[in-house]
Amino acid sequence: MKLYVQEPDSQEWRERLSKHRDFLSSALTILEMRSALRQRVLLGLLRASVAGEVWNEFQTRIKAGAMQTMPISREVLEESVSILDRLPAKVALRSLDALHLATCRLTQPSALATSDRRMLAAAKALSIPLLDGSA
């Protein structure tokens, strides 16, 4: 979302991510993007026409291979459960974030890029490498 809609730290993320070429995410990202755009429209933070343009650009980039997406398979679900079982009790993690971390663990990318505090705490607890500046 930070690459498509201006947020307080969007420019920082654009600069960080511009140094990388290969991106992979859970297919869940597609649903999350659509949901986030819808939410911003409902809250009056984004005009519907702008949200539509952003959605079309995002879909075009996905189809062009700007980011690979990994399906949510049984293996990803099982790894998500395993992650929740392995995390220290003090580390809170939402189910959808567990799916993202499971995708990361199964594909073993060079680093995870996130600004979500809960996902960061879980990634650190699981020794998942973080993209510089993801803390």
Per residue in 100-124, pLDDT (tens digit) is 999 999 998 788 999 899 999 999 9
For residue 106, the model assigns a pLDDT of 94
- The single-letter code of the amino acid at 41 is V
**What's the CATH code of the domain at 114?**
3.40.50.1010
Q: Is 40 contained in some domain?
A: yes
Domain assignment of residue 97, given as a range: 10-125
Can you give the pTM of this predicted structure? Answer: 0.85
For residue 134, the model assigns a pLDDT of 60
For residue 87, the model assigns a pLDDT of 96
Q: Is 134 contained in some domain?
A: no
Q: Is 100 contained in some domain?
A: yes
For the range 17-22, what are the long-range contacts, defined as Cβ-Cβ under 8 Å and sequence gap of 24 or more? 17/113, 17/131, 20/131, 22/68, 22/109
